[in-house]
């Protein structure tokens, strides 16, 4: 294995335990203890809705959160990776179970997820990533765009699962961090797209893309061929169901804490296709960024130093903020935007 003896033994990181977030300066740095892995020095990491949900108790995770990142490979068992600027897929599979062989690591029977379940995340100076999960970032893609690769890939997953035609009437519920990226990717299909966006900033960003925003009570029931629910709120499901036509597709992008009432009989009677959607393809996401067909950088509200991570999480909850980034290299007072 190709290590780097100059790397420090300890590092700074955010630590989540019992729904409490803390900044620590003496966390043990990951090492190359497993084959086919790399150590990545983080340049930027993004706070997303899942990170906020973990803090709220969505999943009993203890450790370093964070799964949206761009960084540099500083050590790897394959020397060709060293020095490469990379992003990384979040699912870590065992490689041996039937699910891994048939569907890949996203549905591994023993799946780990970087910064979410069983694997330390990116809100740190360094993280360990399987080299199979890494993707090189094209030179034309800035760090501030590359850090959006994971959520942009998640947005593209919808188009892998549902055939959206140019004459389809499509509704997106929720225009937050992920919703804005979903809106931009759906708009590429030429469909008749509308978005329910609650906040003025969300509406302004959509308007810049030429995408119509609606209030919740504006659309008539049963109007849309496809509804994507990305509000993060259980009430979003009920709204999505009401606005979907018979034999329509209801795509679920929200992960809810607890249980959500589902009108199963109406789903059967109307022959609704109910589609769960999670992770997506990194290669196409990086191509869209390189070609500048999707520009996520206007979504950035601020860049915080890692040491101000607790304040950054508080800012990420504010309704007038979208993407909050963390940088191990920034100092207090270097907050941008």
Structure tokens at 176: 């937050």
The bridge status of strand 212-214 relative to strand 192-196 is: parallel
Q: Which of the residue ranges 132-141, 150-159, 211-220 would you say has the lowest mean pLDDT?
A: 211-220
How many angstroms separate the CA atoms of 323 and 280, rounded?
Answer: 19
Bridge partners (DSSP) listed for residue 117: 113
Query: What spatial distance separates the first Cα and last Cα of the chain, rounded to whole Å?
Result: 41
Query: What pLDDT, in 10s, does the model give residues 137-168?
Result: 999 999 999 999 999 999 999 999 999 999 99
3-state secondary structure of 153: helix
Residue 255 confidence (pLDDT) above 80: no
Contact 71, 57 (CB under 8 A): no
pLDDT value for 2: 65
The bridge status of strand 192-196 relative to strand 85-88 is: unpaired
Residue 30 confidence (pLDDT) above 80: yes
Most confident of 137-141, 208-212, 251-255, 260-264: 137-141
How many angstroms separate the CA atoms of 219 and 212, rounded?
Answer: 12
Structure tokens at 127: 């993280």
Half-sphere exposure of 94 (CA within 13 A, CB side): 9
pLDDT value for 3: 59
H or E element that contains 156: helix 149-161
How many angstroms separate the CA atoms of 121 and 36, rounded?
Answer: 18
> DSSP assignment of 191-248, as one string?
-EEEEE--SHHHHHHHHHTT-EEE-TTSSPTT-EEEEEE-SSSHHHHHHHHHHEEEEE
- Give the residue-averaged pLDDT of 279-304: 96
Residue 203 confidence (pLDDT) above 90: yes
Bridge partners (DSSP) listed for residue 213: 195
How many angstroms separate the CA atoms of 92 and 113, rounded?
Answer: 6
CA distance readout (Å), 72 to 38, 125, 137: 10, 11, 10
CA distance readout (Å), 57 to 53, 103, 218, 232: 6, 29, 34, 14
Residue 305 confidence (pLDDT) above 90: yes
The bridge status of strand 68-76 relative to strand 134-136 is: unpaired
Name the residue among 274, 306, 270, 318 with its Cα closest to residue 127.
306
How many angstroms separate the CA atoms of 141 and 289, rounded?
Answer: 6
H or E element that contains 143: helix 143-146
Q: What is the pTM of this model?
A: 0.94
Query: What pLDDT, in 10s, does the model give residues 93-112?
Result: 988 899 999 999 999 999 99
The bridge status of strand 134-136 relative to strand 85-88 is: antiparallel
Contact 13, 124 (CB under 8 A): yes
Query: What pLDDT, in 10s, does the model give residues 32-66?
Result: 888 889 999 999 999 999 999 899 887 889 999 99
């Amino acid at each position: 294995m190709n290590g780097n003896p100059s790397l420090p033994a300890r590092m700074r990181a955010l630590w989540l335990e019992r729904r409490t977030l803390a900044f620590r300066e003496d966390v043990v740095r990951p090492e190359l203890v497993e084959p086919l892995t790399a150590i990545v020095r983080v340049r930027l990491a993004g706070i997303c809705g899942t990170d906020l949900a973990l803090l709220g108790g969505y999943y009993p995770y203890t450790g370093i959160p964070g799964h949206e990142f761009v960084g540099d490979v500083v050590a790897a068992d394959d020397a060709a990776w060293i020095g490469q600027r990379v992003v990384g897929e979040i699912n870590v599979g065992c490689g041996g179970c039937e699910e891994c062989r048939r569907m890949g690591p996203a549905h591994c029977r023993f799946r780990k997820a970087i910064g979410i379940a069983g694997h330390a995340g990116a809100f740190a100076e360094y993280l360990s990533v399987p080299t199979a999960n890494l993707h090189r970032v094209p030179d034309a893609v800035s760090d501030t765009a590359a850090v959006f690769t994971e959520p942009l890939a998640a947005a593209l997953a919808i188009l892998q699962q549902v055939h959206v035609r140019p004459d389809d009437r499509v509704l997106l519920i929720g225009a937050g961090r992920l919703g804005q990226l979903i809106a931009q990717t759906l708009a590429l299909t030429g469909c008749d797209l509308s978005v329910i966006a609650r906040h003025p900033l969300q509406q302004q960003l959509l308007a810049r893309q030429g995408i119509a925003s609606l209030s919740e009570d504006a659309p008539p029931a049963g109007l849309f061929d496809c509804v994507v629910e990305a509000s993060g709120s259980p009430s979003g499901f009920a709204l999505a169901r009401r606005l979907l036509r018979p034999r329509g597709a209801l795509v679920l992008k929200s992960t809810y804490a607890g249980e959500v009432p589902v009108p199963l009989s109406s789903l059967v009677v109307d022959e609704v296709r109910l589609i769960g959607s999670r992770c997506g393809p990194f290669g196409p996401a990086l191509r869209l960024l390189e070609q500048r067909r999707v520009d996520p950088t206007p979504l950035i509200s601020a860049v915080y130093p890692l040491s101000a991570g607790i304040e950054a999480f508080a800012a990420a909850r504010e309704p007038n903020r979208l993407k909050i980034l963390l940088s191990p290299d920034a100092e207090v007072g270097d907050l941008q935007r």
